[in-house]
Every structure is written in structure tokens, then in C-alpha cells.
Copies of this chain bind each other. A is one copy, B any other.
């Protein structure tokens, strides 16, 4: 999984019907040599801008949504505790 910080919300009025109601956020990788890489993620656990999150990508991201037919490849699966300081 990826450690990233949520930095903004992304709005797309025109999109696949199955994506209606999902919240899309812009995330930026933190730590390691991939720092600064960006991706768009779906959040269904009420994460907010500024949160450090754990992101699952690929086919495993669809498991987060409980519906294998949704064309999503990255989801927030956890919010890292604020007092969790990792290297």
C-alpha cells in the first residue's frame, strides 16, 4: 500500500455512471523515493484534506468498494493516526 497525504478534492461532473456519489481526492505520496508522486483516490471512510492515509491500488482497491464492477483502481483504506510518527 502507499502512504500519502490528501491534498485536494477533484470534481468530475461527466463520468462513468457507476462512479456517481463517490468522492475523488488528490493524494500525494509521502516518504521514500516516490515522494511527490500524485494519484487520484476514492474515499469512502470520510478522510479529509490534510489527512495521511493508506492507499490500496489495483484490483485490490475494488475490494474496498464491495462491488467488483466499478472502474476504480485506488482507494483510501485507512487513516494514519495523528500521533503515529513513522520514519
Contact = CB atoms under 8 A, between A and B. Distances in A.
**Protomer copies:** 5
A3 B56 contact: no
Q: Is the interface of A mostly helix, strand, loop or mixed?
A: mixed
Given A8-B86, A26-B87, A56-B72, A38 B77 contact: no
Contacts of A70: 60, 63
Interface residues of A, number: 57
Contacts of A86: 7-10, 26
Q: Which of A26, A73, A75 has the most CB of B within 10 A?
A: A73
Interface of A: 1-3, 7-16, 18-19, 24, 26, 28-29, 31-41, 45, 54, 56-64, 68-75, 77-81, 84, 86-87
